[in-house]
Structure 1
Amino acid sequence: MGGGTVTLFLCGDVMLGRGVDQILAHPGEPELREGYVGDARSYVCLAESVSGPVPAPVAPSWPWGEALRVLAEAAPDVRIVNLETSVTGSAAFAPDKLIHYRMHPANLPALAVARPDVCVLANNHVLDFGREGLTETLDALARAGLRTAGAGRSAGEAHAPAAVPVPDGGRVLVFALGAQSSGIPPGWAATADLSGVSCLPEVSAAAAAEIVQRVRAERRTGDLVVVSVHWGSNWGYRVPREHVRFARALVDGGVDVVHGHSSHHPRRIEVYRDRLILYGCGDFIDDYEGIGGHEEYRDDLRIAYLLTVAADTGRLTGLRMVPLRARRMRLEPAPDADRGWLCATLNRISDAVHVTLEPDGTLTLPYPAPERRTGTGP
């Protein structure tokens, strides 16, 4: 930290399972139960069909590619990712679920190489191999020294924030929630005596008030608060009104950053009461390369979000976004034309903010900006 600010790295879904797991040094069993695809290695073949050969086995750094250079140069104080896979060798596929993600625990160096401070687990894939798979996931991450939020052996553990110390003596508290609208089965919710995720049955004013109560119970003077929420559909730019109201209610209650994810592509950016709301960060790492059907959303393009907030107030002081492209199951710099497309798209779908494409190819949201306007419409 420097100059009275804290820098956070945020991204969307990090899915190191299935096809990605198969190119790493310790691939798990490739069996899938997806109807049309029965072998995880098929996703490697799909990627190769559009981008060329993928070497295997690859080093743990391979899936992150250019993102590791971005992180090294930015040196953020806190790194937060949504880990959208179970970490298990289990073969107990969750019934009544179409898609299952798992990475072998021996491949955890492919996560640790990015040095995440918090792995958010409140999503619709962490229990893909049942509660035993969740226990193995929690144990594996703990052995690797990685903090988690949003899932646990009880509701108390799942609801508890991850606390990351920052150099001034304060902390960044990360609370994680998963909405059923993202595909989380209701039965996955953690209870007093049952493991599971911190589940949000509905996105409502009452639910927001409950989260605010949890924040106030945990927060100490000098803490900054991030609420990371997995919600909504995979595709489309529309943000439901209830999501806007929920996010703003969190900010009204003292939350400094709302970190939304689940969509396969970036969604609207908002600055509300000088706080940043990311309604959908888009995917970051996965094995979706070569899967067709939604090309208009350019889900091969990914964004590394680097935001700075005032250490004493949590107010946004700047946002820098680095566009990347997934190719050969690895993140590489996005071409100039794609950076321009992302900039134009973010400006088109976001209200009352203006994203700028800088000469170095990054996208910025200077803040506070001259004659800035605070978002008002849902």
Structure 2
Amino acid sequence: MSTRLGFTGDVMLGRLVDESQRRRPVAAVWGDVLDRLRALDGLFVNLECCLSTGGRPWRRTERAFHFRADPEWAVPALERAGVDCCALANNHVLDFEVPALEDTLSHLEDAGIARAGAGRTRTDAFAPATLTVADLDVAFVSLTDNTPEYAATETSPGTARVEFDVDDEEGRAAVEGALERARARDPDLLVASLHWGPNMVETPPDSFRAFARWLVDEGVDVVHGHSAHVFQGVEVYRGRPVLYDTGDFVDDYAVDERLRNDRSFLFEVRLSRTGTPVELRLHPTEIEGCAVHEAGEEAAAWSRERLRARSAPFETTFERAGRGLVVDLDA
């Protein structure tokens, strides 16, 4: 049997999602996708909010949005879905200042949910998460190029922030350091989770393509991208899946009727017994009522068509699998 790992785009549990969850069962936010999530051996998400009722909105610089969720329901919801690890390197983890970030770290630690990408110091923020999934050792690095003011220093909490440019020596050195710490654990699988680039962009820039390939050359087995709020193309480079952007998984955002940021996929990577990625399966999803659901026929067809088109520049070809798609990484 292969090991099955799930990767999602942004999981934003604040604002209207938070309000809705106060009136419904704790697992309602996962809709009819819950059983599929729980059937996975491991689940990795970008947590796009704080887990706290404390702190105060960030006012040191201009911020249009501030996201936080009540940990009384949000932590049990993450547990019910079987979330194993959260990427925290993003542009919302400090939305309610340091006390809410501290709460987030503590709540995840208490729940036994691994995290990477933000921490109490820069060293902590860049530290890889390490966890065991179905007898395989996984190392998980989380990085972002968003929101410079949220970057951690050696004396202040924040995010693992870098520039995703192979020609940027300082940024490349920081990533090399994080990867070296991850490889020192001798993991069976190394994941780099990247919150990169601007919103509502359908195509990654050439600099991100070069950086993703460099990461694979450095030993990364899965590149897990997010930030654009819409899914981007998939590349298979040296047999490794590069998910340039996994879009939005659950949130309360306004929907762009052309880009349909309410539609994406659960990205399922299947591994060999030794931890080598051998297959990528994409299960279409859509957001409705502040919850994620299995995509209906029309939405699934739309997403399949768009993913094929957005992946064409990478010469990635898909086979149909139910309402979703599958890619053989050994081909």
Give the TM-score normalised by the residue count of structure 1.
0.81
1:82 equivalenced with 2:46 (yes/no) = yes
Distance 2:51 2:121 in 1: 19
Match of 1:7?
Answer: 4
Deviation at 1:195, TM superposition (A): 0.8
Structure 2 counterpart of 1:204, from 161, 166, 185: 166
1:344 equivalenced with 2:309 (yes/no) = no
Distance 1:109 1:342 in 2: 30
Distance 1:201 1:76 in 2: 32
Q: Which amino acid aligns with 1:216?
A: E
Distance 2:128 2:186 in 1: 16
Judged with a 3 Å threshold, the aligned counterparts in structure 2 of structure 1 residues 347 and 100 are, in CA distance, closer, same or farther, namely same
Deviation at 1:278, TM superposition (A): 0.5
Match of 2:266?
Answer: 304
Structure 2 counterpart of 1:269, from 225, 228, 234: 234
Match of 1:258?
Answer: 223
**What are the within-5 Å matches in structure 2 for residues 69-108 of structure 1?**
69-72=35-38, 75-95=39-59, 96-107=62-73, 108=75
Deviation at 1:71, TM superposition (A): 2.0
The share of aligned pairs that are identical, in percent, is 36
Aligned 8 A contact 1:208 1:249 in 2:
no
Distance 1:8 1:212 in 2: 25
Judged with a 3 Å threshold, the aligned counterparts in structure 2 of structure 1 residues 333 and 76 are, in CA distance, closer, same or farther, namely closer
Structure 1 counterpart of 2:156, from 174, 178, 194: 194
1:20 equivalenced with 2:17 (yes/no) = yes
**What are the within-5 Å matches in structure 2 for residues 63-142 of structure 1?**
63-72=29-38, 75-95=39-59, 96-107=62-73, 108-142=75-109
Q: Which amino acid aligns with 1:68?
A: L
1:334 equivalenced with 2:298 (yes/no) = no
1:354 equivalenced with 2:317 (yes/no) = yes
Deviation at 1:287, TM superposition (A): 0.8
1:143 equivalenced with 2:115 (yes/no) = no
Distance 2:112 2:165 in 1: 32
Spell out, residue by residue over 1:165-211, the C-alpha distance to the aligned partner (whole angstroms, 9 max, x if none): 1344x41000000113xxx2x22111112111111145334334542
Judged with a 3 Å threshold, the aligned counterparts in structure 2 of structure 1 residues 105 and 241 are, in CA distance, closer, same or farther, namely same
Q: Which amino acid aligns with 1:346?
A: L
Match of 2:24?
Answer: 58
Distance 2:223 2:323 in 1: 25
Structure 1 counterpart of 2:281, from 320, 324, 327: 320
Range 327-336 or range 296-305, more displaced:
327-336
Deviation at 1:268, TM superposition (A): 1.0
SS at match of 1:113: helix
Match of 1:235?
Answer: 200
Q: Which amino acid aligns with 1:93?
A: P
Spell out, residue by residue over 1:280-305, the C-alpha distance to the aligned partner (whole angstroms, 9 max, x if none): 000001012xx25x211122213111
Distance 1:102 1:282 in 2: 19
1:215 equivalenced with 2:179 (yes/no) = yes
Judged with a 3 Å threshold, the aligned counterparts in structure 2 of structure 1 residues 327 and 202 are, in CA distance, closer, same or farther, namely closer
Deviation at 1:222, TM superposition (A): 4.7
Q: Which amino acid aligns with 2:205?
A: P
Q: Which amino acid aligns with 2:66?
A: H
Deviation at 1:248, TM superposition (A): 0.6
SS at match of 1:204: coil
Q: Which amino acid aligns with 1:295?
A: E
Aligned 8 A contact 1:339 1:357 in 2:
no
Judged with a 3 Å threshold, the aligned counterparts in structure 2 of structure 1 residues 78 and 212 are, in CA distance, closer, same or farther, namely farther
Distance 1:201 1:215 in 2: 15
Distance 1:202 1:254 in 2: 17
Judged with a 3 Å threshold, the aligned counterparts in structure 2 of structure 1 residues 312 and 158 are, in CA distance, closer, same or farther, namely same
Deviation at 1:307, TM superposition (A): 0.8
Range 13-22 or range 211-220, more displaced:
211-220
1:159 equivalenced with 2:123 (yes/no) = no
Tell me, which stretches of 5 or more residues in structure 2 are unaligned?
Answer: none
Deviation at 1:109, TM superposition (A): 1.7
How many pairs align?
Answer: 323
Q: Which amino acid aligns with 2:77?
A: A
Aligned 8 A contact 1:212 1:250 in 2:
no
